Amino acid sequence: MFHTSLRLVPSVLLASLCVSAVSAQAPPAAVTPPATPEVAKPAEANFEYALMKTSKGEILLELDAAKAPISVANFVEYAKKGYYDGTIFHRVIATFMIQGGGFDATLTQKETSAPIKNEWKNGLKNARGTIAMARTNAPDSATSQFFINTVENEMLDVARGGAAYAVFGRVVEGMSTVDSIKAVPTGTSKATTPQGTMPMTDVPVEAVVIEKVTILSKADAVKRMQAAPKSTAPTTPAVVPAK
């Protein structure tokens, strides 16, 4: 028995070594690399351009259809059907904004299309020279009226009552016209609204009329900007309840 056990040892060792050798030579299990998260591509720039001719001069607007598609489409639709032609800037506060797009020269409120969705989360801020939708206290109540910020109005970017104020573009030419409008004398006048006749404050003593709003092609807008005289003044980066 003693000799038999000795003879078996080499066989057991050999078998063990063979198993080890086979194990060592077996290919490692395939390792699946972790998935690479997809990086969202930034929205492609898409701008509309509107030339606003007023009794105080012209204002060229660049409207951001990529970030505020609903507001831009709404403004462009009103402009193309001539809705803004003959309306006025009915509310002017020099240290705040100039507001228009809803009343004619007799201070009678015009009928509008249905209200639109508030796009205040689009990342655009109420900086000086930007244009935004005016509305009532209800978040999704904006229709035709808009305002142009004459100063930095960060408070309009803070949600109150469920929403802030939606910016949809900026002035790229004509801030001197905006500044001319903001400087006009104002007072209180009687306005005619669907709710009846009521007093309205901050109304220009002499009407500031929006004579015409024309939607321009990008090529025409660029030509106009290139032809404009260069200013040495700093470049301007380019609430308000509706009454």
DSSP 158-189: S-BTTB---EEEEEEE-HHHHHHHHTS-EEEE
Instruction: Give the residue extent of every domain in the chain.
Output: 47-227
- What is the mean pLDDT of the segment spanning 74-88? 99
Sign of the dihedral defined by the CA atoms of residues 46, 76, 175, 100, in that order: negative
Burial 184-209 (b: 16+ CB within 10 A, else e): bebeeeebeeeeeeeebebbbeebbb
Backbone angles phi, psi at 114, to 5 degrees: -65, 150
Give the predicted TM-score (pTM) of the model: 0.79
Backbone angles phi, psi at 178, to 5 degrees: -60, -45
Instruction: Tell me the pLDDT band of 228, cut-offs 50, 70 and 90.
Output: confident
Please give the pLDDT value at position 200.
98
Query: Is the confidence at residue 243, as pLDDT, over 80?
Result: no
DSSP assignment letter at 157: G
Structure-model confidence comparison of residues 87 and 11, the more confident one: 87
- What is the mean pLDDT of the segment spanning 179-198? 98
The three-class DSSP label of residue 86 is coil
Distance of CA 144 to the CA centre of its chain: 16
Question: How many CA atoms within 13 Å lie on the side-chain side of 42?
Answer: 4
The pair of structure tokens assigned to 2 is 């003693």
Question: How many CA atoms within 13 Å lie on the side-chain side of 187?
Answer: 6
**Top CATH class, 47-227:** mainly beta
Please give the pLDDT value at position 233.
41
The pair of structure tokens assigned to 65 is 């259809």
- Tell me the average pLDDT of the chain: 86
